[in-house]
Structure 1
């Protein structure tokens, strides 16, 4: 079968003409907004096509080009992906300790969170990736609202949490692409691995689009585990292969930060998590989170486009009240002048005020203000 690559200029032309190339089952979900973000208050007004359709279309075309370069038929992608995973695991088998150490050092270099005695990070390559999270609930039907205003407030919090979950997927993907921090070390261990990782990631991301079932190939997980006898926190991450271990470790760190964006009420927290942190949302969080975060990240000016600033920016973002949070991101996603100016003012203030060496101190102080045990275990 002849493969046709689409140039960047052609992608832009398709984008300008609103020519949609997404799979039909993806289009149907978007049209009905039956995805994890739903009718989201942070989405800008729809134009000729729904906002999600436009941002996903560009991502899909770029991935399709990569798949064409690999030269594989779509119907064979899942089989090839599984075969490559087995090959990769075989290559990693005797160097698991070294790879886990590379993951740990990456996190330590960028966040220095590992200096905090109250926060531990356990990252392991493992085939057993069942989550043991103790703070996520599937359903909470016993929650009672005070009044209509309270209902609206909680719904705004749920939408905020859902969008943050998606953005974490995009942030984790951005860090995963910081190859300069780890690719040399991995190449020294097994020269074949970096190229193999790249192929697996491409196949996996494309499979998320073409798979007609609302499921996901589980390649990793993370849990934020809270000791109910102290304020000690364990970020536990597992991945079947290195890229997904690193990805999940980054996600765990930002999930920890996200706890500080929740309201200060145990029952409200549990209800919000029960409506937001659902396994069925994982696939669409990944699909939407990467292009949504790219929109935000692309607005960073060159002076502050630096991976060290992302955690600080994220903390500022989650600290906003839901209405302010949604209004800001609606402007940013709509690519308005106001959105650009507000975002860069926020980032400029962060650059001036924060000491990059004290990320762990920032987290520690926030943990003191937000005693997690008070809200999850009392």
Structure 2
């Protein structure tokens, strides 16, 4: 593993602890049945870190970053909406709180840009802290909520809930597997093989299809974007085989039984309410946004109406449109795409550049793929800027990392 002799300040550790702590405090808040504590703790963490970053930061990279200007525009738009909500005597205090937290969470991008170090050792430490927090959560969850049964077709019956719920537990496990794979790639330690097995076991017992699809997409993209030929490619093929075999193990026992009963849809849970119950609220969400001419109307009342149709709105892009309107959604997506499309375009340049080390090339590729995974998963689950926060800060952290690498490439021209 490549090392750089660097002494970090407290603010540097506070910065990279934001992602792992956002997971663990959410777990604590869920256990004591008061998630507001987790939100308050996270906001205080952001505030303190932001103040320390401003105090300790001596220079701002000029030209860095076009994306920062788009984010500033997005934050100013949220402040405008907040002022309308506050000074117009808006009665729904929750709407003001939601807008305020969205502002604070996105503001962390600017904090990351000002201070986050794009040194390999620092990035490796942040990745390792994220994986440790995920493993810690899974262990706590398995101890605290230990009602899973280990027989082959249990997924078709009772799915493992964990502390945060089935789908949240599933995506945490999937992200844990992804980080285990990249850390194994960066530092060939057997402990990361064990973490792959443990996180995949936790993913398996949830039966979370969106999380499984996210992991499969990750492995396929990691394989596709693998420029250099190495043993890791064979390892990825083995991982794909394990994933598909585990899916077969999950479904085969009941699949045969249900085929004999001529009930194919039930075999893959296609006709269950978790799918059909998402469709009507999604249609309702789109129609409501169009009916209100794309203006922000808040998710509060809309979610209540959506529940009457089936379940709460799960598509995060619809939720963002409800909170900040079509204009806000366009600005937010412009911010993400300004980084993501540039990074995809630069993948080959980075791969063959002598200015990037071998491990930095892996980090660049991994960060690009994880952003794609988070955006993909957000189509099915509302775990970005609402309820579950690890995806939010992970997205902004990786966006910062790619922004800095892309800026480095620009300076090399």
Name the TM-score class by shorter chain: under 0.3
Larger helix percent:
2
Larger strand percent:
1
TM-score by length of 2: 0.26
TM-score by length of 1: 0.28
Structure with greater Cα Rg: 2
